[in-house]
Structure 1
Amino acid sequence: MHEPSAPNPAPRRRDGDTRQGVGDTRRRVGVMGGTFDPIHHGHLVAASEVADRYDLDEVVFVPTGQPWQKSGSEVSTAEDRYLMTVIATASNPRFSVSRVDIERDKATYTVDTLRDLRSLMPDAQLYFITGADAIASILSWQNWTELFELARFVGVSRPGYDLHVEHLAEHLEKLPADTVGLVEIPALAISSTDCRTRVRDHRPIWYLVPDGVVQYITKRNLYRPANSRRLDGAATVSYPHAESHPHPESHPHPERKTTQ
């Protein structure tokens, strides 16, 4: 349901835009992973900006299955997070949602996600979208050398983040040429953490997340204290600690402040 789409005709091309490589007609597909608990307009704006800048044919959102970053904390079920992402992206024909991570029964590395998507779209050029500051730690990621064989990486800035700070430039110099790009996005100071807190405190989240997601959260009674949950089924689940570390979430406004 709402999986990456079949190849489309050649996409719109902006004036002066050229595909990577001479005569390169491959589809360009962005990959945005994250917990999406909940997905909000910051995620959607970041994906839209990168799609415009890189003339992407599609952006695939990949909700995490077993988020090791949240170990010991309460996280909404993978199915709830997947469905919220489907609802949030349904109106944009360039957005799709994949289940490759939530159907994996173990913690996921970025390289696992990209391998799976590469097998599904062998002829596509993949662009992995992550936070700009996460780029600085990419050399410590699992099988990092293979990552650059599978995809290009696009770091998106967060509100108040300087894309040109010296420490980031030093890290970029160590990476393979033409494999990493940086994109500044509109300063939408929205975070999933704040959205959950507002729901818990009975404050509105209208216009912070898509309308359909607001309605889904209300219907499922997500993010409320356990003693206020309705009796129509569990809405959240606590994950045990995972020893393996999957990819950092690519939210433009992360809850972990560093490499989400």
Structure 2
Amino acid sequence: MKPSIGLLGGTFNPIHRGHIELGLKIREVFHLQEILYILSARPPHKKGMTVAPAELRWRMLQKALEPFPQLVPCDIEMKRPADSWTIDTVSELKSRFPGNSYYFISGSEGFLKIRTWKNYRILLHELSFIVVLRKEGHRTEVEQLLLEENITPCYEFPNPQQPGAEIPAVYLFSYCSEQLGLSSTFIRQKVKSSGFERIEHFVVEDVKKIMEENKLYEK
């Protein structure tokens, strides 16, 4: 059986406890060997947004995942000189590691914007997705999008008939927790309004230290 690898991309601006909890939960439920946390160095969809330097976001990502060997920071997009798109990253990973099966992990908010992604139809037909339903109302919207794109099958996880990552499919995964409700935007706003003293519940200590030392998100 091919190793099953989860792909969780993001700006991680900054990485927080919700990102970690989500990775651990999905790895457990889907029996994945590991999850790659792919840092988007130059996110094409977030131009104009305040984004910390990629090198600092990378350091924070490494520190946050250090205690969890199955959650692996991945710098594949940092090494590219131009904007990185998911299709390019997935193609490179499949080329470099053809023996793996991949699941792309996305929150339902992001997945509903998939039509803005480069070559999104290729992704939908050639890659398995785990869509984390953040809001119950998103289920209908995701199912409608898949219907319009003629994408089947779509599974509510867990499902005993799921085919595995070798056969492209979309899995709807309902999971809610206090940590999962966190957002990097909330943390940045918290720093801007109250400083670094009140964020220890949202980011790990080493991440907080990097933020403080470099005065990230204060302005």
Question: Would you call these one fold, judging by a TM-score over 0.5?
Answer: yes
2:183 equivalent in structure 1:
191
1:47 equivalent in structure 2:
23
- State the one-letter code of the partner of 1:67: P
Gaps of 5+ in 1: 1-24, 226-260
Alignment of 1:130-141 (within 5 A): 130-141=106-117
Contact 1:136–1:172 (Cα < 8 Å) also in 2: no
1:258 equivalent in structure 2:
none
Encode CA deviations 1:206-259: one digit per residue, 9 max, x unaligned.
Answer: 02111211111112221123xxxxxxxxxxxxxxxxxxxxxxxxxxxxxxxxxx
* SS across alignment from 2:199: coil
Contact 1:126–1:151 (Cα < 8 Å) also in 2: yes
Alignment TM-score, normalising by the size of structure 1: 0.71
Contact 1:134–1:155 (Cα < 8 Å) also in 2: no
1:117 pairs with one of 84, 93, 114: 93
When the two structures are aligned, how many residues end up with a matched partner? 199
Distance 2:146 2:124 in 1: 13
Distance 2:191 2:138 in 1: 36
Bigger CA drift: 164-173 or 57-66?
Answer: 164-173
Alignment of 1:1-260 (within 5 A): 25-148=1-124, 150-158=126-134, 161-162=135-136, 165-173=139-147, 174-177=150-153, 179-188=169-178, 189-201=181-193, 202=195, 203-225=197-219
Greater CA radius of gyration, 1 or 2? 1
Distance 1:163 1:26 in 2: 34
Encode CA deviations 1:29-88: one digit per residue, 9 max, x unaligned.
Answer: 000000101001111111112111210000000110112333223310111111111111
Query: How far has the Cα of 1:175 moved from its partner?
Result: 1.2
Bigger CA drift: 171-180 or 215-224?
Answer: 171-180
Distance 1:76 1:205 in 2: 17
- State the one-letter code of the partner of 2:169: T
- State the one-letter code of the partner of 1:107: D
Query: How far has the Cα of 1:115 moved from its partner?
Result: 1.1
Distance 1:26 1:130 in 2: 22
Cα root mean square deviation, aligned: 1.9
Q: Which runs of 4+ in 1 moved over 6 A?
A: none
Encode CA deviations 1:96-146: one digit per residue, 9 max, x unaligned.
Answer: 111111121111211011112212321111010011233334355322232
Alignment TM-score, normalising by the size of structure 2: 0.83
